[in-house]
Structure 1
Amino acid sequence: MIGFLHTPPPFLFFTGKGGVGKTSLACASALALAEQGNKVLLVSTDPASNVGQVFDTQIGNQITPIQHVEKLSAIEIDPQAAAQAYREKIVGPVRGKLPEAVVNSIEEQLSGACTTEIAAFDEFTALLTDKTLQTTYQYIVFDTAPTGHTIRLLQLPGAWNEFLEHGQGDASCLGPLAGLDKQREKYAQAVDALSDKAQTRLILVARAQASTLQEVARTHVELGDIGLKEQYLAINGLYPEAAIDNDALALAVYQREQHALVAMPESLQQLPQDRLPLLSSNIVGLDSLRALVSTSVESVSESSASNVTTIQQDAYPHLDTLVDELAETGHGLVMLMGKGGVGKTTIAAALATELALRGNDVHLTTSDPAAHLSETLNGSLANLEVSRIDPEVETQRYRDRVMATKGKNLDEAGKALLEEDLRSPCTEEIAVFQAFSRVIRDANKRFVVMDTAPTGHTLLLLDATGAYHKEVSRQMGDKGMQFTTPMMQLQDPALTKVVITTLAEPTPVQEAVSLQADLQRAGISPWAWVVNHALIQAPLTAPLMQERAAQQLPYIEAVQVQHSQRLAVVPLQHAEPVGTEALHALCCAS
C-alpha cells in the first residue's frame, strides 16, 4: 500500500495542476479503501472529470453506487453548473431592476475562476459539515481541493455585501463573495475540518518536471500557512528505468525526470513521498486502478513486444507551417496562451526565433519567472529584442496603487478585504497585462511575441469595470475621433494572432477548450492551436513509448477536427530546447 493511504483520516483531498493524474489517483485510492471493507464516497469537482468513464458507471450530481464495488459510491459536482447556479443566486434578484449594462458587469465579475472555486467550495462545505454523510461513510475522497486563496478569503472577517455596495471592491474576487455572509458559521466549520490533521489529509500530485514541482512547492507553502499541515507528495507518471528498452527518447525522458527529482525544492523533499510509475495504458477499469496504487517504479519489469504503429513525423503540420503564414503579414501581435506546464514559453521563444531568422524585426516579451530562455536569446540575434516582465514587481506596483486609491479611506476590516482580494490570480493577470500593454503598440510596425497572457475573463473584467478601454471609448467617441485601445487590438484578427498551447492528454485539452470559449466571449478568436510534447518521433523502439504515442492520437485528432482550423504538432525533444539552434530545430519538420 502506498504511503498516503496508510492509516488515513476520514477526508482525503487530491490537488494538483491539470494533467498530473489526480483524478486517477483519487479513484484508485477510493477503490483501495473500499476493498479494505470501508464505506467510501468519492467526490469529483474536476471540470474535466472522467470518473464515470474510469469506473464504467454513469455518475452525476447524485450519490451513485459504483458497479462491482460493493462499498464505493461517487458523485460528480459540475463546477460550471455550480458556478452558474451561484451566479443566478446573486444576479437573479437584481435582473430587471438595474440597467442591463450594470447587470452585465456584475455577471462578468462573477464569470471567472474565483467564482468557480467559491461555488465548488460551497459544495465542499455541504459534504464537510454533513453529519449524516460522515456517519454513513468512513472515508470521503475529494478529487480537486479548494485553493489556499479561496480558504483565506473565507477566513476573513467583515461584511462583503456592504464592502461591495460602497464601491470599494471592483477587483476580482469580492464580487463572487457577495451573499456568503449568512453561511459564515458553516464555512468556519469546514475550514476547521480542513486544518485538522485528525480529519483531513492533503495529497499534492505532481509530475517530475521542474516547473510543476516549483508550482507544487508554492501550493505546499500556501496551504501550510493557513493550517493544512497534513500533506503528502505523490510524484506520478515516472518513466521506469526497466522500460527504456534501448529507446533514445525514453532514456532522455528518464534522465530528465531524475534530474528534476534531484533538484526538487527542499520544502517538498521534507514531505512524506510516494513515487508512482508511468503505466502503458490509460487508467480505466478496476484492474488498472489497482495497479496504479500497488505498483512501484522499481517493480516495473521490461516491456514486452508491442505491435503499436509509430506515428510518422509528417503526419501532422509542424510549427514552421504557422511561421510561414505569420511571416506573410510582416508584423503583428502573436499571443501565446495556455495552462501552466504545457510549454508555451518555449513555443513563444521558438516562434520568435524563427521569425527573426527569416529577417523579421521581432520583440519577444515574457512574464515567465524562469528567464533562462530570455538570457539565452538576449543578443543572440541582431533583429530579436527580448524583454522580461517581472510579475511580482508589476503585481506589487498594482497593489500599492489600488491600496493608495481605493483603500485610502477604508477602516482596518475594509483594508483587510481589499488586500486579500488583491492576492487573487486575477490581480497578477491584470497587472502583467498593463505592463504588456506598453509593448502592444510595437505590433503595428514589427512582430511582438507575447508569452503568458491574461485570460479572456480578465480582459472582460478590465473592460467591464471601466479601466482603460471603456474610458478611452467614452472620451474619444464623444469627440468623433479615431482611436485604438489594447483591447481593440486584441480583438482585431488582422493584427493579433492568439496561439493556444496544450498537450495531447484529456485534461489539458479540456482546459484549452474552456480557455478558447473564455476568449471568444471576450471577442477574441484563437488563430491556431499547438499540441506540444507529442510522441511522434520515428522510430520509437520502447513499447511503453509506442503505446503512449497511440493514446495521444485521439486528442490530436480532436483538436484538428473539432477545435481549431490551424494546428501544429511539436514532438517531445530529447533535450530541453534552449538556445537559438535548438529553438530553430523545434520549428523545422526535418
Structure 2
Amino acid sequence: MSVQDLGFLDEGERRILMFCGKGGTGKTTSSSLTAVHFALGGYRTLLISTDPAPSLSDILEIDVGGEITPIPDAPGLSAVELDYDLVVELWKERYGAEVYDLISSFLPVEEDIIEYIAGAPGIDQEFALGYLYDLYAGDDYDVIVWDTAPAGGTLALIKLQDTFYRHLGEAARMYVRVRSALDALTRGTKKNPLKIIAKWKELSKNVLDMMKDETTQAIVVTNPEALCVAQTRRVVDDLEKFGLRVGGIVLNRVLTVEAADSPFNRSLREVQLKYIGEVNESYRGKLPIAQIPLMDFEVKGVEALKKLEKVLFSSTA
C-alpha cells in the first residue's frame, strides 16, 4: 500500500468508521468516498452525518434529509442526515413519556416539561449517539461510515456521554437515599424511577462500549496547514485519552508534484511538504497516513466520488 491511498481502511474488521477533524478539512468528502467504496465492494453501507450543518445531500446530489435514503447510483449505499429538529423529535418520541414519569414522580409538573427538557443543551447530541447505537446493534448494515461534527463538537459529544453515564449512577444512589420520602408522596404513581434510570444507564454504557469497541475506528482528516496539523495532534490525543481507537490520518487537498506548475503552486507545495513532514514525524510507524490529492475536478455527485475512489483505493481494487 502506498502512502497516498486509503487501502488501510480495508484492513482488519471494521463496523463504524468515524471521520473526525477540524471543520472544512474535507471530512464529508473523505467519508462519502469511503462509503461509496464499501458499497461498491458489496457491503451494506450506511453513511450518516451528525454535523450541525450537514452536506451529504450536496455531495451526493440527492435529497438525503432525516430519513435513511437509498442512493440510486450506488447500490448497497444508504445515507441519513441527523439535524437538530429531527433529533429532538425522535428524542421526545422515544424518551418523552419516561422523562415525564420520572420527573412527575417527585414534582408536580405538566407534560410540557418534556418540551423544556428537549431543548436542553446536549440532548440532541446525546440522542444522536443513541440513534447510532441502534443502527450498530441492528443487522441492517455491515459498515457504518460516520461524518462527524467538527472536532470540538465530536469530542464534546464523547465527553458528554461519559459524564452522563457517571451522573446516572449518582442519580440512582441519590434516589435510593430519598426514596422512602418520595414513595410517601407518590404512592401508586407512574413507573419505578429506579428502573427508568437503570434503563438509561444501560443504554449509555452500551454507547460507550460501542465507541470503544475495536471495530470502531476514528479516522482523522486534516490539511497540510499549520492550524489543521496542530488541531490534529489534539484530536488524536483526546480520542486516545477517551479510549477510542484511531485508525489512521488522512491528509486532504495535497498539491501533487505535477500540479506544482507555477511559482505560486511550487511555493504552496513547499509549505504543504513542511506540514506533511510534521505529520509523518509524529505518526509514521504508529498510524497509517494517507493523502488525498487536490483534484482537477469538483468532487460532487456519486460518479465523481466513484472516480476518486478508483484513485484512492487503487491498491485494493
TM-score by length of 2: 0.72
Give 1:73 deviation, angstroms: 1.4
Q: How does 1:165-564 map to 2 (within 5 A)?
A: 182-197=199-214, 199-248=215-264, 250-264=265-279, 267-269=282-284, 270-295=286-311
1:71 corresponds to which residue?
A: 76
Residues in 1 aligned to 2:159 and 2:234: alpha-carbon distance in whole angstroms: 12
Residues in 2 aligned to 1:108 and 1:140: alpha-carbon distance in whole angstroms: 27
Q: Is the 8 A contact 1:240 1:278 kept in 2?
A: yes
Give 1:294 deviation, angstroms: 3.6
1:6 corresponds to which residue?
A: 10
Q: Is the 8 A contact 1:59 1:75 kept in 2?
A: yes
Q: Is the 8 A contact 1:213 1:265 kept in 2?
A: no
1:150 corresponds to which residue?
A: 160
1:119 corresponds to which residue?
A: 127
Regions of 4+ moved over 4 Å: 83-95, 106-109, 160-164
Residues in 2 aligned to 1:253 and 1:83: alpha-carbon distance in whole angstroms: 44
Residues in 2 aligned to 1:75 and 1:57: alpha-carbon distance in whole angstroms: 11
Which amino acid in structure 1 is aligned with residue 7 of structure 2?
G
TM-score by length of 1: 0.41
Is the alpha carbon distance of 1:83 and 1:212 closer, same or farther for their aligned partners in structure 2, counting shifts above 3 Å?
farther
How many pairs are equivalent? Answer: 270
Residues in 2 aligned to 1:283 and 1:162: alpha-carbon distance in whole angstroms: 53
2:29 corresponds to which residue?
A: 24
Q: Is the 8 A contact 1:25 1:292 kept in 2?
A: no
Residues in 2 aligned to 1:38 and 1:185: alpha-carbon distance in whole angstroms: 30
Matched, 1:44 2:49: yes
Is the alpha carbon distance of 1:9 and 1:161 closer, same or farther for their aligned partners in structure 2, counting shifts above 3 Å?
same
Residues in 2 aligned to 1:107 and 1:195: alpha-carbon distance in whole angstroms: 28
Residues in 2 aligned to 1:40 and 1:217: alpha-carbon distance in whole angstroms: 29
Which amino acid in structure 2 is aligned with residue 245 of structure 1?
D
Residues in 2 aligned to 1:263 and 1:256: alpha-carbon distance in whole angstroms: 11
Q: Is the 8 A contact 2:133 2:210 kept in 1?
A: no
Q: Is the 8 A contact 1:26 1:143 kept in 2?
A: yes
Which amino acid in structure 1 is aligned with residue 206 of structure 2?
Q
Give 1:87 deviation, angstroms: 7.8
1:325 corresponds to which residue?
A: none
What CA RMSD, in Å, does the superposition of the two structures yield over aligned residues?
A: 3.4
Which amino acid in structure 2 is aligned with residue 240 of structure 1?
T
Give 1:84 deviation, angstroms: 6.4
Which amino acid in structure 1 is aligned with residue 160 of structure 2?
T
Q: Is the 8 A contact 2:44 2:76 kept in 1?
A: yes
Which amino acid in structure 1 is aligned with residue 209 of structure 2?
D
Is the alpha carbon distance of 1:90 and 1:271 closer, same or farther for their aligned partners in structure 2, counting shifts above 3 Å?
same
Deviations 1:22-56 (A, max 9, x none): 11111111111111122212112122222123223
* Higher relative contact order (Cα pairs below 8 Å, separated by 6+ residues): 2
Residues in 1 aligned to 2:24 and 2:170: alpha-carbon distance in whole angstroms: 37
Residues in 1 aligned to 2:85 and 2:267: alpha-carbon distance in whole angstroms: 39
Deviations 1:456-501 (A, max 9, x none): xxxxxxxxxxxxxxxxxxxxxxxxxxxxxxxxxxxxxxxxxxxxxx
Q: Is the 8 A contact 2:50 2:82 kept in 1?
A: yes
1:33 corresponds to which residue?
A: 38
Q: Is the 8 A contact 1:15 1:205 kept in 2?
A: yes
Q: Is the 8 A contact 2:87 2:128 kept in 1?
A: yes
Give 1:193 deviation, angstroms: 2.5
Q: Is the 8 A contact 2:88 2:118 kept in 1?
A: no
Q: Is the 8 A contact 1:205 1:234 kept in 2?
A: yes
Q: Is the 8 A contact 1:12 1:202 kept in 2?
A: yes
Give 1:122 deviation, angstroms: 2.5
| SS of residue in 2 equivalent to 1:59 | coil
Is the alpha carbon distance of 1:60 and 1:161 closer, same or farther for their aligned partners in structure 2, counting shifts above 3 Å?
farther
| Runs of 5+ unmatched residues, structure 1 | 165-178, 297-590
2:59 to 50, 54, 57: 54
2:185 corresponds to which residue?
A: none
1:110 corresponds to which residue?
A: 120
Structure number with bigger Rg: 1
Residues in 2 aligned to 1:17 and 1:159: alpha-carbon distance in whole angstroms: 34
Matched, 1:139 2:106: no
Residues in 2 aligned to 1:235 and 1:207: alpha-carbon distance in whole angstroms: 5
Q: Is the 8 A contact 1:207 1:237 kept in 2?
A: yes
- Calculate percent identity across the aligned residue pairs: 25
